[in-house]
Amino acid sequence: MQRRLPNQEFRKLVPKLREKEFYKSQDQRKISWPEYNLSKINELEEMLIFIRESVNKVSSIDVEGRVGKPMTNPKSLAKAVLFCEMSGLPEREAQGWLKIIGPFLGIYETLDDWVIGEAYNRFEVAFILAQIFEKTKNSDGILVGDGTGLETSRRQNYGENRSSTKEFITSIVDSREIVQAFDFSGKDECRAMHLLIENVDGKYLCLDAGFNDRGLVQKISEFGMQPFVFPKKNNKLNGRLAWRLMYLSLYNNIQQWLKFYHQRSHSESFHSSFKRIFGIITKIRFSCKLTQVTARIIIHNFRKLSYYKRLKG
């Protein structure tokens, strides 16, 4: 005879999980200031070298049969885009800086502000940046995911517009806040997560109640990761094996389960720092916005990896 699942007891437990001080919080990870300071001191030089070498190592698309004025080297344009997002400079100011720094980056053409601005709309540049993102990330196996809105105007922070956002990003990061995958299509975050998990490699994946979906939990398990998805108070334990095992694990060992789940705070930390450091999305066309977000994520990942590399050293 099949044993009855403790559905009623589980439902009574769920509201308590949100109560203050129910979860025994863990010590926060401390910053190693000597390595952090050193990474900041050397950041400019290392970032410029990274931009030059990472773009040079990937392939570019050769467009045959192009009519009209020859196009500027796509790799030079990709380097210019990464430099703009690294420095936070608009195209006009970047034009002047690239006259000085361009040769160090391997940019030997003269790029005016219009050419730099149009580089964000070039699919050849987007192709290069997508390769760099995939080649320069790595994972510690502890993955967390969430979605957030990205402001496209300062006015969205004030008055009746304070909660409005025009763009939405769903991301998966590891416990070091290194981005493993992201979706900028504007899809519902749960639907986007179904696709993102196909492109990551990890041991665990922690998600909040917005991703409370039996199909997603099963899919996470099938991809070899242990799911930690925060429950809703109307959830039942009945369902697919991965769903039952996940919440029976919570029911039988609450504090241990919550200890893993609350790694999810790293996704909130990433989104907060990403928006604070890089500011609003300044581009208008969607293809330009995607290029801008991709470039910013590449730079974010490099900065994080540089710091953690020093910790290991």
Give the model confidence (pLDDT) of 205-241 as tens digits.
999 999 999 999 999 999 999 999 999 999 999 989 9
Distance (Å) of CA 213 to CA 136, 202, 222, 242, 269: 31, 19, 14, 11, 24
Q: Is residue 35 very low, low, confident or very high in pLDDT (cuts 50, 70, 90)?
A: confident
What value does the mean pLDDT take over residues 94-111? 95
pLDDT tens-digit readout, 119-147? 999 999 999 999 999 999 999 999 999 99
Alpha carbons 273 and 279: distance in angstroms, whole number: 10
Checking if the pLDDT of 71 tops 80, the result is no
* Structure-token pair, residue 117: 């601005």
User: Quick check: 178 pLDDT over 60?
Assistant: yes
User: Sheet containing 179-183: which strands, arranged edge to edge?
Assistant: 179-183, 167-174, 142-150, 204-207, 226-229
Q: Which CATH architecture has domain 140-270?
A: 2-Layer Sandwich (3.30)
pLDDT of residue 29: 74
> In the chain, what are the domain boundaries?
33-136+282-312, 140-270
Mean pLDDT computed over every residue of the chain: 90
In whole angstroms, give the CA distance from residue 176 to residue 82: 22
Percent of the chain with pLDDT over 90: 77
Pick 244 or 158 by higher pLDDT.
244
Categorize the per-residue pLDDT at 1 as very low, low, confident or very high, splitting at 50, 70 and 90: very low
Amino acid identity for residue 223 in this structure:
F
Least confident of 150-154, 228-232, 283-287: 150-154
∠ Cα 139 128 70 (to 5°): 175
pLDDT tens figures, 108-123: 999 999 999 999 999 9
Split at pLDDT 50, 70, 90, the class of 20 is confident
Residues 6+ apart with CB under 8 A from 239: 214
Nearest to 178 by CA among 219, 212, 211, 134: 134
More confident residue, 257 or 22: 257
pLDDT on residue 2: 47
- Choice among 19-33, 157-171, 233-247, 260-274 with the minimum mean pLDDT: 157-171
| Cα distance between residue 202 and residue 172, in whole Å | 11
- Cut 0.85: pTM above it: yes
CA distance 258 to 253: 9
For residue 231, the model assigns a pLDDT of: 96
